[in-house]
Chains A and B, each alone.
Chain A
Amino acid sequence: MIPLSRALESSIGRKFVMSISGIALVLFVIVHLLGNLTLLVPDGGVAFNKYAAAFEDLGPFLYVIEMGLLAVILIHIFWGVTVTLKNRAARKKAYKEGIKTKGGPSNMTLLSANMIFSGIFLGIFIVVHLWHFRVRKVTEAGKIYVEGQEMTNLYGLVVEAFQHPGWVAFYMAAGLVLGFHLRHGFWSAFQSVGAMKPEWSGAINAIGMFIAVLLAIGFLGIPLYLFLM
Chain B
Amino acid sequence: MAQESMTVHLKVWRQSGPEDEGEFRTYTQEDVNPDMSFLELLDVINEDLIKSGEDPIEFDSDCREGICGTCGCVVNGQAHGPERGTTVCQLHMRVFRHGETIVVEPWRADGFPVIKDLVVDRTALDRIIAAGGYVSVKTGPKPDANSLKIPKPRADAAFDAAACIGCGACVAACPNASASLFTGAKISHLAMLPQGKAESTRRAKRMVEQMDEEGFGACSNIGECEAACPKEISIDVIARMRREYLKSMFTSH
Direct contact of A and B (CB under 8 A): yes
Q: Which residues of B contact A10 (CB under 8 A)?
A: 208-209, 212, 245
CA distance A101 to B227 in the complex (A): 8
Cα A102 to Cα B235 with chains together (Å): 15
- A94-B178 Cα distance, complex, nearest whole Å: 14
Partner of A4, one of B13, B84, B215, B249: B249
Q: Which chain B residues lie closer than 8 Å to A96 at the CB level?
A: 13, 24, 105
How far, in angstroms, from A83 to B217 measured CA to CA in the complex? 8
Report A-chain residues with C-beta under 8 Å of the C-beta of B105. 95-97
Counting CB contacts under 8 A, is A42 at the interface? no
In terms of DSSP, what is the predominant structure of the interface of chain B? mixed
Q: Is the CB of B217 within 8 A of A91?
A: yes
By the criterion CB–CB under 8 Å, are A108 and B78 in contact?
A: no
- Contacting chain B: which of A23-31, A63-71, A184-192, A220-228? A184-192
- Smallest Cβ distance from A106 to chain B, in angstroms? 4
- Min Cβ gap B124→A in Å is 11
A99's contact among B24, B77, B178, B223, by CB below 8 Å, is which? B77
Are B222 and A113 within 8 A (Cβ)? yes
Do A1 and B250 touch across chains, with their CB atoms under 8 A apart?
A: yes
B185 to chain A, nearest CB (A): 14
**Chain B contacts for A86, CB-based, 8 A:** 217-218
The count of chain B contact residues (Cβ–Cβ below 8 Å) is: 57
Choose among B111, B211, B220, B239 the residue that contacts A83 (Cβ–Cβ < 8 A).
Answer: B220
Q: Do A112 and B222 have beta carbons less than 8 Å apart?
A: yes
Inter-chain contacts of A97 with B (CB < 8 A):
76-77, 103, 105
Decide if A16 is an interface residue (CB 8 Å cutoff).
yes
**Partner-contacting stretch, out of B91-99, B142-150, B169-177:** B169-177
- Binding-face segment, A47-55, A144-152, A168-176, A194-202: A194-202
Q: Is A127 an interface residue (CB 8 A)?
A: no
Q: B112 → chain A, closest Cβ, in Å?
A: 9
Can you name the residue of chain A whose Cβ is closest to the Cβ of B169?
A: A102
* CB nearest to A93 among chain B residues: B108
Q: Tell yes or no: B29 within 8 A of A by CB.
A: no
CB distance from A3 to the nearest CB of B (A): 9
Which residues of chain B are within 8 angstroms of A15 by Cβ–Cβ distance? 218-220, 242
Q: Which of B63-79 contact A (CB under 8 A)?
A: 74, 76-79
Given contacts A192-B242, A197-B239, contact A87 B217 (CB under 8 A): yes
Contacts of A13 in B (CB 8 A): 245
Secondary structure type dominating chain A contacts: loop
Interface residues on A, range: 35 or more
- CB < 8 Å: which of A2, A105, A108, A192 contacts B175? A108
Q: How far is the CB of A92 from chain B (nearest CB, A)?
A: 6
Contact A2 B249 (CB under 8 A): yes
A residues near B103, Cβ cutoff 8 Å: 97
| Contact of B167 with A by CB under 8 A | no
Query: Is A90 a contact of B111 with CB atoms below 8 Å?
Result: yes
Residues on B with C-beta less than 8 A from A98 are 77
- Bound CA span A16–B248, Å: 14
Contacts of B249 in A (CB 8 A): 1-2, 4, 7
Verify if B216 is at the interface (C-beta below 8 Å from A): yes
Smallest distance from the beta carbon of B201 to chain A beta carbons, Å?
9
Contact between chains at B77 and A100 (CB < 8 Å): yes
A33 within 8 A of B: no
Instruction: Note all chain A residues with C-beta closer than 8 A to B82.
Output: 102
Known contacts A1-B251, A83-B220, A102-B173; is-contact A89 B215 (Cβ 8 Å)? yes
A95 with B74: CB separation less than 8 A: yes
Verify if B197 is at the interface (C-beta below 8 Å from A): no
Query: Are A99 and B74 neighbours in the complex by a CB distance under 8 Å?
Result: yes
**Contact bitstring B191-219, A, C-beta under 8 A = 1, else 0:** 00000000000000100110110011111
Indicate if the CB atoms of A193 and B175 lie closer than 8 Å: no
Residues of A within 8 A of B (CB): 1-2, 4, 7, 10-16, 83, 86-108, 112-113, 115, 184, 187-188, 191-198, 201
Nearest first, the 4 closest Cβ-Cβ pairs linking A and B are: A90-B217, A194-B242, A194-B243, A11-B218
Q: Can you report 23 residue pairs joining A to B where beta carbons are below 8 Å apart?
A: A7-B249, A11-B208, A87-B177, A90-B111, A90-B176, A90-B217, A96-B24, A96-B105, A100-B77, A101-B224, A102-B224, A102-B228, A104-B84, A105-B227, A106-B224, A107-B222, A108-B222, A115-B220, A184-B222, A188-B221, A193-B242, A194-B244, A194-B246
